[in-house]
Structure 1
């Protein structure tokens, strides 16, 4: 701060150095505007933070990205060129009633290999031309039409012989066929469907209630961090589509790698941390201990509560609370780099989903050690860490088939505002322009995902450039093409 004069003229002051704020800073600087970013915390990232504990890298939030859906926007930010993404195994593992069920990819698609230096440009299920491959989807749908076809597919998928095995295999076959349809459906088609709460919409999707209750709801709950499934059915449909098309991944080294790369690529003096903003106007930002920063416009890129505090009248959404548990062990639990969803009956345990983090990204753990991450959702997430840990260990013992009593609890991170709620009806394009000179962005203005944060930042950037009389990126691209 000693080297920065608050009176130095800038065009835009951005409040908040999370994903949205940092992305907007790069886009605005790329358009030739002078930018300053103010962050109240001592580090960047907002909710995308990674702590280093005893040699482990622990994400404070779930830190999962949808390959292709969330990471598509990364490719428009050159600062993220060095980012490496670590994909999960295709599909998911569903654990129910003491049994494990493998949900494989819905079509003839190959999961992208781990990439060093750039996010995968060809997401799973895409050809070199960028079009989704549909041959396997169509073939599978034909074989699963009707009970006889579904039974045939179930036998082929699992080799099941007993009646119970056949019932479970049939449920998996139905779910796999449903995901295949989602993967093949264009986004516009899903958005054209009637909008309902996700739980209500599931009953109208043509799947038996048993399949919905035991498989679809637990999977969707994990993907949305919404145990009540009050989320808009349109958001839920797009989430399932993204999961079916690309699967899940994590950034190598922790989710903080994303904002840290963006911050490091900004010119010296652009980003100031430890600066708490108390009020904003169209031409000034007042801070708690560092004076007033003059500017021509302000972009508030904080979380929803902080944004409403700076911009009175801004609606604060509800939130889905989340607690993330990190355990270390010398053992190597099964399931490898799989996304494991607990589909147990209510009361079986607090964990919604879990994964062996060090199997997905070996850089997260000490050599020879294993890091297991588990997520608790809803009201249970607010319980004391000691109680959660005790209940989670019993559940994880069943999920992984290894005694979790000897595992070491490294950290329990609770965030009551982890995921902004998106109940129906949900507007994924909430206004980002408060008035000329005052703007707001963040996942709470779009969808509660990295993609939503980046999308809102892009929309805010376009509004700012338009008010400044500058061509937007798309307008500039069209002008270049016309020339």
Structure 2
């Protein structure tokens, strides 16, 4: 019996949607299965009472996001729909915020660094600029740093560079423990993205791109895939209580989920899947009746609270500073993010306990928080971001050289790049592998298929 589909894509996050888009453009019959009731994965947004809450990803950059900007251009999403975040990132130290983190002005303002640490920051930046050609986000394993972790790399510099720059930055944006994650990946990303002065957000929420892509595809939300089995030249999926067959299956889900769904993976794949561990992510959204800010300095977009200063929080995001459309007129919105240790302790607790713990900690930085709060929500991602450990880095080359098979993979973990651009790039790579295997003609005209997103 012939397979029902050319390609079945498991997961409607950015990797799955990007891969499905490329495959559909090539004329293949593609269907996307998503267990959740909405698309976007870790770029999803939630809309409540006129507030737009980014439950996962927070921003993107004009640099280092080439694949994402190409998709945006293809869909006709212009820069006016991806506006600049004009407020600074600040570091909390000594009882006040210091602006200029991840920005050229940091050398002048200090951005929380002591004078001696600023000298070492300049030395670090000079070293990095001289070695720029040795770092590549597509091949992070090919660097002069080998298996060194972020913490090991930082020991060559003033302790402030770790405590008041690297730890809070990677701890917040990647959810990393600096003792576990590879410096090569971090430095590749820093070089690709550049400073934070050009960072942008989506006007309608971080899921804008995901929703636009899904509108052109056959996406089945509320459809959980339980197992994927290769049958030689094709594959079989157990979707709910139904069986679906396809010439190819793309597992566009976190590595631990992919390993569970496809336990028969060859050793070269299974080894890398096991090595690609993830850190959990947790957020609390506070819907405010007015915009709030820290006591001192200009209102920041993001306030980093290093582990050396706070044993609960990692950061506070002032979403109303990110873009005014995130809230009703005159209102405010905060996102509270715990540090890695706190996340591990709170992840399985009831929402009320999580909210109380984080809101109590945030009140030390944001005066009037309790009185201004209208509603609160907790958002959990047990598999938040890939850790990019030295073990995964060491196995990646073999994994990337794997044979073409009916079951393949996409996700930010494939690129060891914990960002939506990593997901998009992996989706494009996975689509090219599927097309190569199926020998689909690449010259078929683009088909303007406009299929509605179906729910269970």
TM bucket, shorter chain: 0.7 to 0.9
- State the secondary structure of the residue aligned to 1:175: helix
The count of aligned residue pairs is 410
Residue 380 (structure 1) shift: 0.8
In the alignment, does 2:409 pair up with 1:440? yes
Q: Which residue of 2 aligns with 1:462?
A: 432
Would the alpha carbon gap of residues 176 and 471 (structure 1) be closer, same or farther in structure 2, given more than 3 Å must change?
Answer: farther
Tell me what 1:399 maps to: 365
Aligned partners of 1:199, 1:419: CA distance in 2, in Å? Answer: 18
8 Å contact 1:226–1:377 — kept in the other structure?
A: no
Q: Distance in 2 between matches of 1:277 and 1:258?
A: 24
Query: 1:319 maps to which residue?
Result: 278
**Residues 280 and 383 in structure 2, CA contact (< 8 A), matched pair in contact too:** yes
| Contact 1:357-1:364 at 8 Å conserved across structures | yes
Distance 1:193 1:471 in 2: 40
- Cα distance in structure 2, aligned partners of 1:56 and 1:167: 35
Instruction: Give unpaired runs (5+ residues) of structure 2.
Output: 137-141, 444-456
Please list the CA deviations of residues 87-119 of structure 1 after superposition, one character each: whole Å capped at 9, or x if unmatched. Answer: 3347621111212222266549xxxxxxxxxxx
TM-score (norm 2): 0.79
User: Which string of whole-angstrom CA distances, capped at 9 and with x for unpartnered residues, describes residues 355-412 of structure 1?
Assistant: 2111112111121101111211323114244444344334433434x23232425211
Q: Does 2:51 match 1:82?
A: no
- Structure 1 residue aligned with 2:205: 254
> Residue in 2 aligned with 1:477?
none
Aligned to 1:368: 330
How far off is 1:86 after superposition?
3.4
Q: CA RMSD in A?
A: 3.3
Q: Is the 8 A contact 2:6 2:29 kept in 1?
A: yes
Q: Higher relative contact order at CA 8 Å, sep ≥6: structure 1 or structure 2?
A: 2
- Asked whether 1:420 is paired with 2:386, we answer yes
CA distance in 2, matches of 1:264, 1:223: 29
Contact 1:327/1:371 (8 A) holds in 2: yes
Unaligned runs of 5+ in 1: 1-5, 109-152, 474-483
Residues 86, 360 of structure 1: 8 Å contact kept: no
In structure 1, C-alpha distance between the alignment counterparts of 2:122 and 2:87, rounded to whole Å: 12
Aligned residue in 2 for 1:225:
175
Q: Secondary structure at the match of 1:324?
A: strand
2:286 and 2:377 in contact (8 A); partners too:
yes
Deviations 1:64-100 (A, max 9, x none): 3344223643314655432622333476211112122
Whether 1:410 aligns to 2:373 is no
- Give 1:449 shift: 1.8
Matched, 1:343 2:306: yes
Q: Does 1:99 align with 2:101?
A: no
TM-aligned CA distance change 1:182 to 1:386, over 3 Å: farther
Aligned residue for 1:26, secondary structure, equals helix
Is the 2:286–2:333 contact (alpha carbons within 8 Å) kept by the matching residues of 1?
yes
The SS at the match of 1:13 is: strand
Within 1, Cα distance between the matches of 2:125 and 2:103?
Answer: 6
1:202 aligns with 2:172: no
| One of 400, 403, 422 as aligned partner of 1:452 | 422
CA contact (8 A) 2:85 2:323 kept: no
Report if aligned partners of 1:434, 1:440 keep a CA contact under 8 Å in 2: no
- 1:23·1:77 contact (CA, 8 Å) conserved in 2? no
Q: Which residue of 2 aligns with 1:389?
A: 355
Give the TM-score, by structure 1 length. Answer: 0.75
Between 1:453-462 and 1:180-189, the stretch displaced more is 180-189
Distance 2:6 2:113 in 1: 63
2: CA distance between counterparts of 1:470 and 1:199?
Answer: 46
Query: For the Cα contact (< 8 Å) 2:135–2:187, is it kept in 1?
Result: no
Moved more, 223-232 or 464-473: 464-473
